[in-house]
Chains A and B, each alone.
Chain A
Amino acid sequence: MSIELRNVTKRFGGVAAVNNVSFTVQEGELMALLGPSGGGKTTVLRMIAGLEVPSSGDLFIRRQRVNDIPVQRRNIGFVFQNYALFKNMTVFGNVAFGLKIQRWRRQDIAARVAELLEVFELTGLERRYPHQLSGGQRQRVAIARALASKPSVLLLDEPFGAVDAKIRQELREWLVRLHHELNVTTIFVTHDQEEAMEVANRIVIFSRGNLEQVGTPREVYEQPANEFVARFIGVMNVLDLEVRSGVARLHELEFPAPGLADGQRVRIGFRPYAVQLASDVAQFRYRAVIRHTFFLGIMLRLELELASGLILRARITKEEYARLGLADDREVSFQISQYRVLGNEAAALAPEQAVADPPRLAVTDNL
């Protein structure tokens, strides 16, 4: 394996920015560290780089414990959020900096820089200064500079944060291709779940300094470890139900909950795709009006408003939408085909329940 964190904690003052985190990154992986701001992901990245020292725990790069190895000798390439290009140096000077420090021979430096500039489509810009480059060019210079001395790991802090939405998509695809070609172990930090899902082989999800889940994009989406992950990755409808005479309800929505005491509160969550729609208002049990339609490429997301004013989100393909003849302000009927019982944010999730006829709420520890 390429990188391993074992029970790593980082405190700033008394506050744990990273709390007892363990995970491994395999050689050649493209890994995302994902989480909301202040989740500790950038601190983890900086610890791997050696820009921060763990308060406790062990950090290994290629099986070597590197806690006490200074940043200069870790053989990593780091791309900063704002690129941190040396603004008093040209593109050539920036990319050559690490090689000059390592006392490469002059002609070797020239050859390596020329090679990198070609890979990064920067040929001809050698003599430009950073302020004369576009956002995308600056980022490519920053990555070329980080890769110049052939590091074993490439670390990127919010690599797409500083460019506008239009080039962001291109850069994502470009990073995937680059990783495929160079095959260098790559870890990047992002707060954008869509970006992580699209680019990474595997994702590490953080919240408030804790590691919530490690897995492939598909795993974290389909088998979220807890409510935080379930809500952070993708969209989820969450309902707060109250039990009365064996039925948990919120407005007109009802879920049988035999054996639960009256007044007990139950929370459930379900994905938009679990909402089954019919244009025939009598086909399913509940009725709603389509308030808004959001176009997401081949998928559409619908905002449904129930008679009580409750809003639910549903997702359906463009074809299905056309087949059912749906439109804004149309009344439809629906049912919820799958849902999960939610505990508190960090508790493990109950398995997803398929609705075979009337849904039943299982009595679990999470209630």
Chain B
Amino acid sequence: MTGTRQPIERADVGRTPRGAEEPRWVKGLLIAAALAFVLVFLLLPLANVFAQAFAKGWTYCAQSLLDADTRAAIRLTLAVAAITVPLNLLFGLAAAWAIAKFEFRGKSLLITLIDLPFSVSPVVAGLVFVILFGRQGYLGPWLEAHDVQVIFALPGMVLATVFVTFPFVARELIPVMQATGTEQEEAALTLGANGWQTFWHVTLPSVKWGLLYGVILCNARAMGEFGAVSVVSGHITGLTDTLPLRVEKLYHDYNLTAAFTVAGLLALLALLTLVLKTLLEWKQARDDGRVEREPETPTA
């Protein structure tokens, strides 16, 4: 029985896609166009970065990384990211929790506001902080009187970076948390767990991949941010230059190889981010697969 049916099915499988699909040459053209675009605009420049970095050999490359000002820039970048990412992790968790688990007035406004940094030019974000905390700014005189420096110093750069990167964690978590619902948390409560235990044992593990994903994206942007940080940093070599600012300065000094070496460092970070992102997406898809396999039931 099965033996006689199989060839027919196979013939069907062969026929249907051909009927529904575009002609072969359209498919080929589209793929070729996409590949060419990726090659010219993404892969070539990336390869060029590394080619330029190594143009004068390994030793020169190493020397430009060991340069005192560059090392200061690396340290500053790490410091900014080390402060920014945990802050946005906390903020993102709180915002996603509020949006996914509670109903309240102004919820859609909050969702819109979380996206604001995506739509505002980073330069504007930087200027906002200059206007607030700068010497001529609203809070400037007070800060000066108390000997607190925000603009042209680490606090200002952290503020600008926090502003630019704050959507990443929240945006990753909101859909994950909404999909999970509140039943598992309620189950934990009926079993005697308090709020903190419920969060730690139930909520956090169920969103861990989304959270990590958000953190990685947030970190990549925090280290790579140029516009907003550029406005508030003041470009003091060895003091307030982050890696992207350092690249620009080296480039303007006609120190091309050094500029590309530092740029290569940032590019490596980007590649690492991509690899981690792909891994996490795969993990998350696997976990979501579990959810979908659970039986669907109508709500009472």
Contact = CB atoms under 8 A, between A and B. Distances in A.
Interface of A: 37, 41-42, 49-51, 71-73, 76-78, 80-82, 84-88, 97-98, 101-102, 129-131, 135, 138, 145-146, 148-149, 157-158, 161-163, 189, 191
A37 B186 contact: no
A72 B297 contact: no
B191 A98 contact: yes
A42 B184 contact: no
B192 A51 contact: no
B300 A162 contact: no
A101 B191 contact: yes
Contact of B189 (A42, A71, A191): A71
A209 to B, nearest CB: 14
B190 A86 contact: no
Given A97-B191, A131-B290, A163-B295, 15 more contacts: A80-B187, A82-B183, A82-B295, A82-B297, A85-B187, A97-B193, A97-B201, A131-B293, A138-B294, A148-B191, A157-B300, A158-B297, A161-B298, A161-B300, A162-B295
B187 A78 contact: yes
Contacts of A135: 295
Contacts of B250: none
By secondary structure, the B interface counts as helix
B298 to A, nearest CB: 8
Task: Count chain B CB atoms within 10 A of each CB in A37, A101, A135 and give the residue with the most.
Answer: A101
Contacts of B298: 161
A162 B297 contact: yes
Nearest to B191: A98
Given A88-B206, A163-B295, A81 B300 contact: yes
Shortest beta-carbon contacts, A-B, top 10:
A98-B191, A84-B183, A131-B290, A78-B190, A84-B187, A88-B205, A162-B297, A101-B192, A72-B192, A71-B189
Contact of B300 (A71, A76, A158): A158
Interface in B192-211: 192-194, 197, 201-202, 205-206
A254 B26 CA distance: 76
A82 B181 CA distance: 11
Interface residues of B, number: 26
A42 B300 contact: yes
A130 B186 CA distance: 17
Interface in B276-300: 287, 290-291, 293-295, 297-300
Contacts of B266: none
B193 A72 contact: yes
Given A72-B194, A82-B183, A87-B290, A51 B297 contact: no
A51 B189 contact: yes
Contacts of A97: 188, 191, 193, 201
Contact of A149 (B186, B192, B194, B293): B192
Given A157-B300, A189-B300, A80 B295 contact: no
A85 B184 CA distance: 7
A101 B297 contact: no
Contact of B190 (A42, A51, A81, A82): A51
B295 A86 contact: no
B198 to A, nearest CB: 9
Given A51-B190, A72-B189, A101-B193, A86 B293 contact: no
B295 A77 contact: no
A98 B290 contact: no
A284 B190 CA distance: 61
30 contacts: A51-B189, A72-B189, A72-B190, A72-B193, A78-B186, A78-B187, A78-B190, A81-B297, A84-B187, A85-B184, A86-B187, A87-B206, A87-B287, A88-B206, A97-B191, A98-B191, A98-B193, A101-B191, A101-B192, A101-B193, A129-B290, A131-B294, A135-B295, A145-B191, A149-B191, A149-B192, A157-B300, A158-B297, A158-B300, A162-B297
Nearest to B208: A88
A78 B201 CA distance: 18
B228 to A, nearest CB: 37
B183 to A, nearest CB: 4
Contacts of B191: 97-98, 101, 145-146, 148-149
Contacts of B295: 82, 135, 162-163
A363 B202 CA distance: 63
B72 to A, nearest CB: 43
Contacts of B184: 84-87
Given A71-B190, A161-B300, A86 B202 contact: yes
